[in-house]
A and B are shown apart, each in its own frame.
Chain A
Amino acid sequence: MNGIVELRHNRAQLALHTVRAGAGAVRPLLMLHGLGERTPDTPPRYLDVWPGPVFGLDFTGHGRSTRPVGGGYTAEILMADVDAALAHLGEVTILGRGLGAYIALLAAGARPELVHGIVLADGPGLVGGGIRPGSPYVLSLVPDAEDSAPDSYALFELSRDVRPPDYAQEYVRQIMQWSGLEHPIAVATVTRPEWLDAVVAEPGVVELDLRAALELFAAVD
């Protein structure tokens, strides 16, 4: 369990991994994984451009974090997972993959004073459930005897969570109004679901490749 801090989010224990320790040349980078993923054991090569320490949070139901009984996942609850990491780390830049990119947007919108730039990258769960609900389906699974991750309810519910473009834009506006940065959002994805198209259309959002996006926030005080 070396390099893992257990954070408490209400009844869930969340694993915050130190992906790469480092001196405080610049604020930490917080990695948010995609749907079904977990924090990688070793830093991806593109993080060579990040001069500070790197942490990764396992969302509820993923990796080494609590797998709840009975499902009930929402993007907003994962946003509060991230807030538990912010309470521990203080100011960070966030790199989110897939589902983690959407959650990064929500978290930065909710805590603009603690999130110094977000980088949105391709990964599992980037699309979500589209811009309006589809036909309802009520999934009931027999609970597994063992505590395995990821939780199947997380995979099901967080691939159906509805992401209206105007909802995503509300978070962009929160970030623009309170972050104090001219360009607080860097979009590095090739895939562009509708919510992300709406994000890119907002003033202050820049499109950069992954390394350039990380360098942008590494350079800004």
Chain B
Amino acid sequence: MPTDPAPPIERPSGLDDHPGARRPDRSRFVSSSGLRIASYEWGPPDAPVVLAAHGGFDFAGTFDVFAPLLVDAGWRVVSWDARGHGDSEHAVLYSWAGDLRDALAVLDSVTTEPAVFLGHSKGGGIMLELADAVPHRVRALVNLDGLPSKNNWPDVSEHERTKMLHTELTGWLDHRRRCADAMRRPGTLEELAERRQRMNPRLTLDWLRYLVSIGGRQDPDGWRWKIDPTLRFGGFGPWRPEWSMQRMPGLPVPVLGVLGLENEAMGWGTRPEDVQPYLPPDARLEALDGVGHFVHIEQPQLVAGLVLDFLQAHL
């Protein structure tokens, strides 16, 4: 049973602040069929809800600049650390269906009224499917560079593909054999920020240091990311990107899609022309030149402005 009353909000003392960043006003654990999910809120408890899902390998604290901008315009932003991420419990099993269940558990714990669904990257895909699954619970959908396309799927010969899959499968199974005792590699806060910058080359070190202080923890031998070491980049499976996109045309609510057009390693490479055919009526698509995949983390003011303008126009 839970021993901690609530997930931590405060950062360790003595660390630099980041301009515009504000830690959540409240935090608590939500039970998702018994799994402890760390959830957070910015803004007054009686304001209308934006349910915000972070991307894979991120955590709710990545909204620390973006969420307060929505709060200042009258919204209550509710987010959570996905299972195995941040301060949520490390699970035995991870799956898309599990993530959807956790999202609904957080929503159920907050309101039964329709809410704005917002998600970045993988979180965007989760919120898109949740909107399709519980259309009576959603007022509007905001997807931040979380619309998959086939562009980032390697176009290779059948023979090459067989070899690649073999490498992927054995690599993943070897990882599963080892991961029971795995620990993430410790380092100084500076080192973790620098490592993260290889995946997030467009974010400043100052911002990344701030994020390490939330997504990481200080052990006696150094800082390490809180995320479950079982979780691993890449992967394989039966999923096809078009399945996610096909959930969009029938959505009964206003939709805002934001694409970051600057290519980067973690990006999805989706172009406006990939998305246009799937947009429902009342949808708006914003394609941002010179902005990478982490649109709201890289350009919080710009993206919050787009979101607020969209919500004001449609709700």
Q: A residues near B, CB below 8 A?
A: 8-12, 60, 66, 68-74, 76-77, 79-80, 83-84, 87, 109-111, 132-133, 135-143, 153, 157, 160-164, 167, 170, 173-174, 177-178
Within the complex, what minimum Cβ distance (angstroms) separates A1 from chain B?
A: 21
Question: Beta-carbon contacts of B119-160 to A below 8 Å, as 1s and 0s?
Answer: 000000000011011100000000000000000000000100
B98 touches A162 (CB 8 A): no
State the Cβ distance, A5 to closest chain B Cβ, in Å.
16
Q: Decide if B134 touches A70 in the complex (CB within 8 Å).
A: no
Known: A11-B92, A170-B161, A177-B166. 16 other contacts (CB 8 A): A66-B92, A68-B91, A69-B33, A69-B34, A69-B92, A70-B34, A70-B83, A72-B97, A73-B97, A110-B169, A111-B170, A136-B100, A142-B33, A162-B238, A164-B238, A174-B166
Distance between A53 CB and nearest chain B CB, rounded to angstroms: 23
Most chain B beta carbons < 10 A, residue from A74, A160, A163, A177:
A74
The answer to whether A177 and B238 have CB atoms under 8 Å apart is no
| Least CB separation from B178: chain A residue | A10
A157 lies within 8 A of B97 (CB): yes
**In the complex, chain A residues whose CB is within 8 Å of the CB of B129:** 136
| Residue pair A163, B238 in contact (C-beta under 8 Å) | yes
B260 CB, min distance to chain A CBs, angstroms: 26
Q: A76–B236 contact, CB under 8 A? A: yes
| Residues of chain B lying within 8 A (CB to CB) of residue A80 | 172-173, 176
Residue B296 lies at the interface, judged by CB distance under 8 Å to chain A: no
Q: Mark B76-108, 1 if CB is under 8 A from A, else 0.
A: 000000010000011111110110111011001
Provide the main secondary structure of the chain B interface.
helix
Interface centre among B104, B132, B177, B243 (most CB of A within 10 A): B177
Docked CA distance A84–B179 (Å)? 12
**Known A8-B180, A60-B92, A163-B238: A140·B162 in contact at CB below 8 Å:** no
Contact between A70 and B35 (Cβ–Cβ < 8 Å)?
yes
Residue-wise interface mask of B (169-195) relative to A, using a CB-CB cutoff of 8 A (1 in contact, 0 not): 110110011011000000000000000
Q: Is B197 an interface residue (CB 8 A)?
A: no
Q: Does B11 contact A (CB under 8 A)?
A: no
Q: What are the residues of chain A within 8 A of B170 when measuring CB–CB?
A: 110-111
The CA of A38 and the CA of B33, in the complex, are separated in Å by 24
With the chains together, A143 CA to B90 CA distance in Å? Answer: 17
Chain A residues whose CB sits within 8 angstroms of the CB of B239 once the complex forms: 162
| A198 CB, nearest partner CB in chain B, Å | 12
Tally B residues with Cβ within 8 Å of A.
46
Which of B33, B94, B172, B247 is the most central at the interface, judged by chain A CB atoms within 10 Å of its CB?
B33
Report Cα–Cα, A70/B102, bound state, in Å.
9
For A10, A66, A76, A174, the residue with the greatest tally of chain B CB atoms inside 10 Å of its CB is A10
25 residue pairs bridging A and B, Cβ less than 8 Å apart: A10-B179, A11-B230, A70-B34, A70-B35, A70-B91, A70-B102, A71-B97, A72-B94, A73-B93, A76-B236, A77-B93, A80-B172, A84-B176, A84-B177, A135-B132, A136-B100, A137-B133, A138-B97, A138-B101, A140-B105, A153-B33, A162-B238, A164-B240, A174-B162, A178-B166
Residues of A within 8 Å of B134, CB to CB, are 138
How far apart are the CA atoms of A139 and B95 in the complex, in Å? 13
What residue of chain A has the Cβ atom nearest to residue B98's Cβ?
A72
B94 to chain A, nearest CB (A): 5
Answer whether residue B32 sits at the interface, using C-beta atoms and an 8 A cutoff. yes
Cβ-defined contact, A132 with B243, below 8 A? yes
For A153, list chain B residues within 8 Å (CB). 33
A71 near B93 (CB under 8 angstroms)? Answer: yes
Question: Which single member of B97, B165, B237, B238 contacts A174 (CB below 8 Å)?
Answer: B165
Least Cβ–Cβ distance between A102 and chain B, in angstroms: 11
Q: Which residues of B contact A173 (CB under 8 A)?
A: 158, 162
B98 close to A70 (CB less than 8 A): yes
Among A76, A139, A157, A167: residue with most chain B CB under 10 A:
A76
A73 touches B238 (CB 8 A): no
CA distance A164 to B170 in the complex (A): 21
Q: Are B165 and A157 in contact (CB under 8 A)?
A: no
Contact across chains for A11 and B177 when beta carbons are under 8 A apart: no
B104/A72 in contact, CB under 8 A: no
